[in-house]
Chain A
Amino acid sequence: MANASADKGGFLNNLGRIYAIYTGGFFGFIFLVGILEQLGVGQKYLGYMFMGLTILVYAFIGIVSRTSDVGEYYVAGRTVPAFYNGMATGADWMSAASFIGMAGSLYLLGYDGLAFVLGWTGGYVLVAVLIAPFLRKFGAYTVPDFLAARYGGNMARLCGVIVLLACSFTYVVAQIFGTGLIAQRFIGLDFTVAVYVGLAGILVCSMLGGMKAVTWTQVAQYIVLIVAYLIPVVWMSAKKFGIPVPQLSYGQALQQISTLEQEFVQKGLATQASLSTTHTAPFSRYSPANYFWLIFCLMVGTASLPHVLMRYFTTPSVREARQSVAWSLLFIFLLYFTAPAYAAFSKLEVYSTLIGKNIADLPAWVYSWGKLGLVNICGKAAASAEAVKASCAALAGHTGVLRLQDFGINPDVVVISTPEIAGLPYVITGLVAAGGLAAALSTADGLLLALANALSHDIYYKMINPNAPTKQRLVISRVLLVIVAIAAAWTAAQRPADILAMVAWAFSLAAGGLFPALVLGVWWKRTTKQGAIAGILAGFGVTLLYLLVTRYFPGFGVQYLGMTALLNPITWAPIVDLKVAMAAPNAMDGWVTLAHPLASKVGWFNINNISAAAFGLPVGFAVMIVVSLMTPAPSAELQRFIDEVRKPRGKTLMEEKSGLVASH
């Protein structure tokens, strides 16, 4: 042990140097692969090199960070400096959806997609001000730990665990799905095999070293993902506008996009309908209410997601926990304020190189993505030149010139395909794939750890066997980690249809279930045990009910819960005719697919189900407050406990008997 901690000290003192060498090495590697490409090495091998080498590095970090200390396993020994914890949180936070999907959503949704940019950043204000420093002071290992201490016992803990499992599991399935997609595309593995290979990559990082290993891998993954995200956009910006600062130059891209949009209409290359969403005009996809509720749910969800909050348990002090939130947001911001530039550049590239071209002269990338069903021309997958010709010929009056409405691209390939579309060398495409993989793996690591810790620490150790020796706890924890990971991979391998929507659901579930209990627990002493439990169940229940009913039991919602059809944000007409749909024989079906005429098309007050916490959160707060006022105030002892949580000075409140020294 003494030896190990001396090593740790050496490592912690040299963090700057270690990660600087690592970053330099990564740039050198990119350069080397670039040279190999020029020498004529095949694209497939370049892809292997990027994937293989980065995964090996993560695995190496995971293995050298192995630990048998409970404190290191659960909270990295509370030794992670604010700056590095910020990077780790950035990687933990930015998932496959942020890296791969965000720019794509912005491409398709224009202004309305910015709800995600705002929603996935602004929540950190709530994290820093309302929640994280207090949880750090308390000294929790898991979020349910805090609920249990504040709300007197295992009932509150169990409620917290249920919410945690619901939101983290859906989220981790999406990450493993993303890992599988990337591995499938870039190293040509079968999707199911790719999912399990990704799983192995995730496990090797987290299993041996728990939070400690995950932290240092995530820092390495952050560096890969941010370099991979920035290089192509900086390159495109320099190439097109002569300034390597895409965040400034894409203003010009936006102007060119609107000029082109107008030209297309004049030349008959686009109908008004296909341009009903000009890139910078607001509220064409979401009504204003939906736009703002979505931002709100994503922000509040950020402040409630256990895998994010638990990152702030690892800093050496409360002070550093606060600084660390600021660093986290800075590192996240670097990607998020670049995403709109990414979207604008790829849109401009598609508009200027593709639209108006003869369909016989389409570039090769159209077919390489079309084969996978990710690019559509004239309404059908653009699998080959013949297929495109046939599907366009089938359209009445098609002149053989590609119009805007003929072209469709899956938002998930915008980021990955843009370097290719813009004619950058393949090394950049490989780099982007490695970045996407880093984003998916790092988030999956954090989520799996949150899930396994809740099961091993909260359920097993705190509720089933409080006398379990340290060694046994860690063994159980690792076994559960593997079981949860396999369950998640199995679910991902089934290719659930609405995987990306489920990520947004996780935010609403966390917001509705946990936010009131966490915030009121610190900020309102009068919150009682009964109030908290009732509030968690009500907030979570209402959110879950709204999600399940609108998506899977829409007919039931219309018939019994007074739901109505959602409205088109431009014309304010219902997007589905309820009378017709309810008269259809399948109206009252359950567990319907997305193809069902009512699925995700009904709701209360025209609120989309991705903003389900719009109902759950107010209900959760109201129930928590009302029930608290109806039950006797918390004991004087508990009030003193809250006073202690509120001030940074002093020891952490949850003492771990074995191992970890609480405060440094």
Chain B
Amino acid sequence: MTPNAEQHWARTKSLMILMVGLWVFFGFIVHMFVGALNKIVIAGFPLGFYMAAQGSLIVFVAMLFWFAKAQDKIDRETGVAEDE
């Protein structure tokens, strides 16, 4: 591997670990506290219920748009991005 490719893959891996970490947190960990979160009620929504019905989903969508940008930035900076 060229130094560029190595750097590209190292940064890609870090980004992957961050994304998978966020996925674990919002996909699972936050819902383990549903009982406690349900005691907080906002606009009629018990928070624990809300996180599973909407909150985590919003995070997932935002994460993916951000990821597409972040990975593209890595690709460009390490010179392995596709030509436009």
Contacts and interface: CB of A to CB of B under 8 A. Distances in A.
A binds B: yes
Interface of A: 111, 114, 117-118, 121-122, 124-126, 128-130, 133, 247-248, 250-255, 280-282, 288, 291-292, 295-296, 299, 317-319, 322-323, 325-326, 329-330, 333, 336-337, 340, 523, 643, 646-649, 663
A118 B57 contact: yes
B44 A646 contact: no
B61 A319 contact: no
A647 B67 contact: no
A648 B80 contact: yes
A319 B54 contact: no
Contacts of A643: 1, 5
Contacts of B79: 649
Interface of A: prevailing SS: helix
29 contacts: A111-B52, A117-B57, A118-B56, A122-B60, A125-B20, A125-B27, A125-B60, A125-B63, A128-B67, A129-B15, A129-B23, A130-B16, A130-B20, A247-B54, A254-B44, A254-B49, A282-B35, A291-B31, A292-B31, A292-B32, A322-B72, A326-B65, A326-B68, A330-B65, A333-B58, A333-B60, A646-B8, A647-B5, A648-B82
A337 B82 contact: no
**What are the 7 A-B residue pairs with the smallest beta carbon separation, nearest first?**
A251-B44, A326-B64, A114-B52, A647-B80, A340-B53, A251-B45, A322-B68
Given A129-B20, A646-B12, A295 B82 contact: no
A663 B35 CA distance: 51
Contacts of B67: 128-129, 322, 326
Nearest to B8: A647
Interface of B: 1, 5, 8-9, 12, 15-16, 19-20, 22-23, 26-28, 31-32, 34-35, 38, 42-46, 48-50, 52-54, 56-58, 60-61, 63-65, 67-68, 71-72, 75, 79-83
Contacts of A299: 27
Contacts of B53: 114, 117, 337, 340
A255 B57 CA distance: 22
A118 B31 contact: yes
Given A111-B34, A280-B48, A291-B31, 19 more contacts: A111-B48, A117-B57, A121-B60, A122-B56, A125-B27, A125-B63, A129-B23, A280-B49, A282-B48, A296-B27, A322-B67, A325-B68, A330-B65, A337-B57, A340-B53, A340-B54, A643-B1, A646-B5, A647-B9
A255 B5 contact: no
A125 B68 CA distance: 11
A192 B74 CA distance: 54
Contact of B64 (A118, A125, A251, A280): A125
Contacts of B82: 317-319, 648-649, 663
A317 B83 CA distance: 9
Contacts of B15: 129
Contacts of A663: 82
- Counting chain A CB atoms within 10 Å of each CB, the highest count among B12, B46, B56, B83 belongs to B46
Contacts of B64: 124-125, 128, 325-326, 329
- Counting chain A CB atoms within 10 Å of each CB, the highest count among B5, B43, B44 belongs to B44
B43 A329 contact: no
Contacts of B16: 129-130, 523
Contacts of A646: 5, 8-9, 12
Given A296-B28, A333-B61, A125 B80 contact: no
B46 A254 contact: yes
Contacts of A291: 31
Contacts of A250: 44
Nearest to B64: A326
A126 B23 contact: yes
B58 to A, nearest CB: 8
B38 A329 contact: no
Contact of B27 (A122, A247, A281, A523): A122
B68 A648 contact: no
A330 B61 contact: yes
A323 B27 contact: no
A248 B60 CA distance: 19
A323 B68 contact: yes
B6 to A, nearest CB: 10
Contacts of A118: 27, 31, 52, 56-57
Nearest to A126: B23
A248 B58 CA distance: 14
Contacts of B35: 282
A295 B27 contact: yes
Nearest to B13: A523
Contacts of B57: 117-118, 121, 333, 336-337
A299 B56 CA distance: 13
B57 to A, nearest CB: 5
Contacts of A281: 38
